[in-house]
């Protein structure tokens, strides 16, 4: 009997040892996988940052410096903790090897193991690689909150769900630069980059489309992705009004068609009596007074760019109207499409860069509002109530700050545009 107990003891000891070895191995493998995920996030951020330097025509030294800096912001500093960050311009391997419009980042780190060291593997190496290529495919991002310091520069509040089929960049260095609160969920399978910090309040979440938490990348200060677009001028445009003009069922434009041109004092569309007022293609130069599409307005237009500025900036004699923001009200049915080619390709709402206003622009449209184009408000906030974007092929928002208060889907299908997305970007490729 004692002999049998001895066998049981030995067998149990062997079994326990083997079990502990497997548990230890699983622990090490899980730890290495976690570190690999972190390294890939850092490589993606580094490649994006280095790519932006490339986009600005920086030297190779600046490209390397920015790539290593952004890798360090995400916990993988070159030369620290057995880490090497290599930045190659052009890439040395993969589909973009030799492409001068691309940059490659490779992160390598040697890690000590815990249980694997018992079986002769005291360390393990991991490698993460990312490549950025210049272009305007829109593969990188289409939502940019550009204020450099505001708290909640990008915020989603309430109980809403927002689906982003493109990347997000938040330029603010605030500790709460990106804020998701209430029971809101932000879904994004692309990149989420923030200069400052992220606050998830209540049950707010940022997830990928597998339902897994997304940890935003730390990035360097992004550039204005639409800085290259030349704003329209009044040259060749017809002055349509020298004071605020309102079109509605009591003041119907000829042929139910609103014409492009200069509107000094602003443009408003009220109740159209269920009739559709068409905005003819061209530039609508709003020289002060802003523009408003009120409830019960039915508006459609293709090839439209609405440029919003002040009367003083227009240079039109006698036009002195002060700048005002724009507003699309909840019950308006608005279908507007930006030009699909030309110098204002993809530009739908364009606020004069010389205007720096804290007045909030608002889009409160319902399901009958479809916007295809860029909403470009470099120095003014946008409040976006959502519920109006699922029918859009694409929507770009480059704003000072952005507040989303309703369900929304931000699509990124630029196939209708001759040159692709107007966002000139440094897109991180999946290789």
Could you state, in chain order, the average pLDDT of each consecutive group of 10 residues for the chain (431 residues)? 48 48 62 87 89 85 94 94 95 91 93 68 85 65 93 94 91 97 89 93 92 89 88 96 96 98 97 96 98 93 98 96 93 93 97 97 82 97 77 93 92 90 69 66
Query: Measured at the alpha carbon of residue 53, what is the angle toward residues 79 and 155, in degrees to the nearest 5?
Result: 95
The pLDDT, as a whole number, for residue 329 is: 87
Q: What is the pLDDT of residue 16?
A: 46
- pLDDT reported for residue 366: 65
Taking the domains of the chain in order of start, what are their residue ranges? 2-135, 141-420
In 3D space, the residue among 185, 181, 143 whose CA is nearest the CA of residue 165 turns out to be 143
Q: 130: which 2 tokens?
A: 């990312």
Note the pLDDT of residue 221. Answer: 85
Query: What is residue 426's predicted lDDT score, i.e. its pLDDT?
Result: 60
Q: Distance (Å, rounded) from C-alpha 217 to C-alpha 196?
A: 10
Q: What does the block give as tokens for 273? A: 């009596």
Distance CA 344, CA 346 (A): 6
What crossing angle do the helices spanning 60-73 and 2-55 adopt, rounded to 10°?
140
Write down the pLDDT at residue 300.
97
Is-contact 379 351, C-beta < 8 A? yes
Tell me what pLDDT residue 365 has. 66
């Amino acid at each position: 009997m004692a002999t049998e107990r001895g066998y049981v003891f030995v067998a149990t000891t062997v079994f326990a040892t083997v079990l502990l070895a497997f548990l230890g191995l699983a622990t090490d493998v899980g730890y290495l996988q976690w570190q690999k995920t972190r390294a890939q996030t850092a490589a993606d951020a580094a490649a994006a940052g280095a790519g932006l330097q490339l986009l600005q025509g920086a030297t190779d030294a600046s490209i390397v410096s920015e790539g290593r800096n952004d890798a360090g912001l995400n916990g993988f500093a070159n030369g620290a903790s057995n880490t090497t960050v290599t930045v190659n311009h052009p890439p040395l391997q993969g589909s973009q090897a030799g492409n001068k419009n691309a940059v490659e980042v490779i992160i390598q780190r040697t890690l000590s193991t815990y249980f694997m060291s018992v079986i002769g593997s005291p360390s393990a190496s991991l490698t993460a690689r990312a490549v950025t290529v210049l272009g305007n495919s829109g593969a990188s991002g289409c939502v940019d909150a550009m204020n450099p310091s505001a708290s909640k520069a990008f915020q989603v509040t309430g109980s809403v769900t927002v689906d982003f089929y493109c990347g997000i960049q938040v330029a603010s260095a605030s500790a709460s630069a990106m804020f998701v609160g209430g029971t809101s969920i932000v879904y994004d399978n692309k990149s989420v980059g923030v200069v400052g910090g992220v606050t998830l309040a209540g049950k707010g979440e940022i997830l990928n489309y597998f339902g897994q938490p997304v940890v935003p990348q730390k990035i360097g200060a992004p550039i204005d992705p639409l800085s290259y677009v030349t704003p329209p001028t009044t040259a060749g445009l017809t002055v349509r009004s020298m004071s605020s003009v309102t079109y509605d069922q009591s003041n119907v434009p000829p042929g139910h068609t609103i014409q492009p041109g200069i509107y000094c004092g602003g443009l408003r569309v009220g109740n159209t009596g269920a009739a559709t007022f068409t905005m003819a293609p061209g530039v609508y130069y709003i020289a002060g007074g802003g523009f408003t599409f009120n409830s019960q307005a039915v508006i459609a237009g293709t090839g439209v760019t609405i440029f919003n500025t002040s009367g003083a900036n227009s240079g039109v004699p006698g036009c002195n109207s002060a700048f005002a923001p724009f507003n699309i009200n909840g019950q308006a049915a608005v279908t507007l499409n930006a030009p699909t080619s030309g110098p204002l390709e993809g530009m739908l709402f364009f606020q004069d860069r010389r205007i720096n206003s804290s007045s909030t622009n608002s889009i409160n449209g319902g399901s009958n509002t479809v916007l295809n184009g860029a909403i470009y408000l470099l120095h003014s906030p946008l409040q976006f109530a959502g519920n109006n974007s699922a029918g859009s092929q694409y929507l770009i928002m480059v704003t000072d700050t952005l507040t989303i208060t309703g369900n929304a889907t931000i699509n990124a299908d630029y196939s209708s545009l001759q040159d692709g997305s107007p966002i000139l970007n440094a897109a991180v490729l999946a290789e």
